[in-house]
């Protein structure tokens, strides 16, 4: 029978399992037949049903993931999880921005009436940041108004859209079921930017744009849903407006919901997972967490989770272990949780504590299917927040979500003085160096993961996750693993 710490004698305590984290170990190199990084396929599972093309997920934190980060992540083949610390309306808009970024067919293009004024049209184009509007009467397509038409016309704000638009009879259109390749040919042949799709009666079905086609070609490794839109996830909590938020996020098109709670090994977390699964099953999958033990995984899977997020207190801005004494060093937590998750074929996200590409390699060898990054992505152009200058360095703010700073910034719910009096933060806020755009950074990390594969002969993430060995180092080994000059101490 399992004994708990308070039941153990002093001698027995000395025999407790040792728990390890990334820097405690290295991967034992193996005979390899991999010659090129290109031989390594990084496709992996996020949830039971959703696949990603790279094993990277951006953290649901307010200084890491909103639409810009989520777009950049999915373009590269990963996914971003939009945080839950803004109003429902704002969060929904962030999800929609990701979903609108690219698609095979825009099913709900922006439209305007023919008797609207040019001033109204210009305002609308500016608001939605688009270069053209379809002119409709109900579902009937009457024409198109593009910024090119507007430049060509003598611009009078009071002029009506009908006077400036290209009318239906002069418009190149295509049937709704046109193939992407054929749409591309039409766009290029007629040197047009927008191709409206219509049925036999001239009713508008959708829109294909040359811009979308360019995006599709530029980002061939993007992680996409069935409609060719970027994948995105979004978080909800376990109290207050959590159900209303989840409903709105699902309606906005989120591909996956994350139940975001620091201690996911809890009755209310299980109840929420069960509730969400029942509500949206089978359409929306649920990622639940965070936990750090086999029992945590078992219970969340029992509640219906489609993926479990593992990590308590290992994040770079976490103080949970200092404040509460609780947590499990991350590599041990991953290995233990994966043991349980593997029995059910459910993927694991290793969340927090990743500082270099080698840590990603170790998390995957430990059995994780993906890693969640906060610190490494904070400070990039795509993370929310402004660039500031501190002591001559360009920096951005990175906040633990349980830090005092994040708590004061929350706009998702009203804070009372009582909420703050006995509040003991379990995170910190800090400045991180400004890092420029996130895409080169991700590429570099993936380069490391691919090189790592060549040391253990792993051509796929599945083979990465199976049958390799860690060796445990001492503090001298850790020192040896980082750059050091000969003769120096």
CB of 21 to ligand XMP, least distance (A): 11
Known catalytic residue: 361?
no
Residues 6 or more apart from 307 whose CB is under 8 A from it?
Answer: 45, 46, 47, 48, 256, 285, 286, 287, 288, 346, 347, 348, 349, 369
CB 357 within 8 A of CB 452: yes
Give the three-class secondary structure for 57. strand
C-alpha dihedral sign at 305, 310, 316, 319: positive
Place of tokens 């910190």: 428
**Cα(254)–Cα(434) distance, rounded to whole angstroms?**
29
CB-nearer residue toward ligand XMP: 112 or 361: 361
- Among residues 204 and 259, whose Cβ is nearest to ligand XMP? 259
Retrieve residue 67's tokens.
Answer: 């639409």
Burial class (CB in 10 A: 0-12, 13-18, 19+), 287: buried
Reduced to 3 states (helix: H, G, I; strand: E, B; else coil), residue 85 is coil
Give the residue with the Cβ less far from ligand XMP, 208 or 350. 350
**Between 40 and 56, CB nearer to ligand XMP:** 56
Bridge partners (DSSP) of residue 370 are 349
Residues contacting residue 20 through CB under 8 Å, at least 6 positions apart: 329, 331, 332, 472
Structure tokens at 431: 């400045």
For residue 380, the minimal CB distance to ligand XMP (Å) is 13
Q: Kindly report the number of other CB atoms within 10 A of residue 175's CB atom.
A: 11
Instruction: Please tell me which residue in 307, 318, 337, 361 is annotated as part of the active site.
Output: 318
Nearer of residues 25 and 262 to ligand XMP, judged by Cβ: 262
Give the three-class secondary structure for 434.
coil
What is the token pair recorded at 90? 């704002």
Q: How far is the CB of 388 from ligand XMP (least distance, A)?
A: 19
List residues near ligand XMP by CB under 6 A. Answer: 59, 61, 290, 311, 313, 315-318, 320, 351-354, 372-375, 400-403, 426-427
Minimum distance, C-beta of residue 302 to ligand XMP, in the bound complex (Å): 22
Q: Select the residue whose beta carbon is closest to ligand XMP and give its number.
A: 427
Least distance in angstroms from the C-beta of 337 to ligand XMP: 14
Smallest gap, in angstroms, from Cβ of residue 352 to ligand XMP?
3
Residue 73 vs 402, nearer CB to ligand XMP: 402
Residues assigned a catalytic role: 318
């Amino acid at each position: 029978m399992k004994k708990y710490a308070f039941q153990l004698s002093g001698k027995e305590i000395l025999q407790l399992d040792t728990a390890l984290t990334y820097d405690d170990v290295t991967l034992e190199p193996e005979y390899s037949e991999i010659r090129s990084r290109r031989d390594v396929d990084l496709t992996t599972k996020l949830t039971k049903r959703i696949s990603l093309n790279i094993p990277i997920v951006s953290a649901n934190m307010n200084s890491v993931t909103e639409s810009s980060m989520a777009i950049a992540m999915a373009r590269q083949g990963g996914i971003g999880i939009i945080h839950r610390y803004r109003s429902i309306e704002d969060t929904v808009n962030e999800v929609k921005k990701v979903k609108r970024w690219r698609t095979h067919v825009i099913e709900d293009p922006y439209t305007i009436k023919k008797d609207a004024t040019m001033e109204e049209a210009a305002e609308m184009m500016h608001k939605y940041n688009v270069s053209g509007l379809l002119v409709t009467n109900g579902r009937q397509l009457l024409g198109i108004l593009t910024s090119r038409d507007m430049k060509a016309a003598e611009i009078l704000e009071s002029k009506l859209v009908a006077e400036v638009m290209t009318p239906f009879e002069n418009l190149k259109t295509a049937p709704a079921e046109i193939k992407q390749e054929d749409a591309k040919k039409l766009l290029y042949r007629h040197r047009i930017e927008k191709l409206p799709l219509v049925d036999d009666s001239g009713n508008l079905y959708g829109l294909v744009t040359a811009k979308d086609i360019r995006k599709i070609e530029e980002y061939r490794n993007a992680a996409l849903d069935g409609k060719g839109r970027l994948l995105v996830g979004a978080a909800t909590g376990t109290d207050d407006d959590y159900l209303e938020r989840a409903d709105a996020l699902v309606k906005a098109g989120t591909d996956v919901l994350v139940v975001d709670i620091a201690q996911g090994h809890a009755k209310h977390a299980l109840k929420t997972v069960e509730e969400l699964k029942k509500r949206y099953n089978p359409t929306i999958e649920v990622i639940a967490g965070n936990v750090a033990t086999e029992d945590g995984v078992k219970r969340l899977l029992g509640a219906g989770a489609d993926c479990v997020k593992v990590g308590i207190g290992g994040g770079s801005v976490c103080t949970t272990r200092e404040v509460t004494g609780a947590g499990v060093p991350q590599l041990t937590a991953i290995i233990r949780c994966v043991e349980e998750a593997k029995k059910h074929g459910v993927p694991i996200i290793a969340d927090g504590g990743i500082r270099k590409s080698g840590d990603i390699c170790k998390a995957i060898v430990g059995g994780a299917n993906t890693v969640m990054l906060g610190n490494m992505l904070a400070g990039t152009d795509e993370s929310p927040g402004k660039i500031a200058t501190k002591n001559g360095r360009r920096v951005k703010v990175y906040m633990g979500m349980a830090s005092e700073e994040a708590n004061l910034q929350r706009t998702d719910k009203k804070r009372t003085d009582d909420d703050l009096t006995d509040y003991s933060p379990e995170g910190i806020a800090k400045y991180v160096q400004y890092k420029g755009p996130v895409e080169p950074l991700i590429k570099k990390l993936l380069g490391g993961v691919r090189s790592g594969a060549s040391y253990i002969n792993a051509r796929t993430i599945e083979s990465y996750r199976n049958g390799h060995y860690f060796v445990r180092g001492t503090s001298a080994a850790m020192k040896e693993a980082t750059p050091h000059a000969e003769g120096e101490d």
